[in-house]
Amino acid sequence: MVTLSKHATKRIQQRDIEPYIVSLLLNYGHEQYAGKSVNKLQLPRIERKRIICRLKKMAKMLEKDPYILLSDDGIIVTAAKSYF
C-alpha cells in the first residue's frame, strides 16, 4: 500500500491529476533513480501510446452500454451490450 504525503496530495489536486493516473503510474511506470532515496515513475512514450489506444477502444465499447449479469454468489453469468 502506498501513502501520499501532504505535499503529494496538494500537488495532485493542484495539477488535476486523477487518482487512476497515479494508480497507472504505480502499476506500469518505469522507475528511474531521482536522488536521495526517491524514484521517478513514468510511462515511456510507447507505453503511453498503447494505453491511449486501449482507452479509446474502451470508450467506444462504453458507448454501446455494456452490462454483465452477476449471480448472488458473485459469478458473472453473461455479458452483453444494450441495443437502442
- In this predicted structure, what is the pLDDT of residue 43? 95
Q: Are residues 49 and 77 in the same domain?
A: yes
- In this predicted structure, what is the pLDDT of residue 2? 87
Asked if residue 26 is part of any domain, the answer here is yes
Integer Cα distance of 67 and 46 in angstroms: 31
Q: Are residues 11 and 34 in the same domain?
A: yes
- In this predicted structure, what is the pLDDT of residue 83? 74
Number of domains in the chain: 2
Q: Are residues 30 and 54 in the same domain?
A: no
pTM of the shown model: 0.68
Question: Which residue matches cell numbers 455479458?
Answer: 79
Q: What percentage of the chain carries pLDDT values higher than 70?
A: 99
- In this predicted structure, what is the pLDDT of residue 84? 62
Per-residue pLDDT at 48 exceeds 80: yes
Instruction: Find how far residue 19's CA is from the centre of its chain.
Output: 8
Per-residue pLDDT at 47 exceeds 80: yes
b/e sequence 56-81, b meaning 16+ C-beta within 10 Å: eeeeeeeeeeeeeeeeeeeeeeeeee
Mean pLDDT of 11-29: 94
Domain extent, residue 23, equals: 6-42
Handedness of CA 32, 34, 39, 45 (dihedral sign): negative
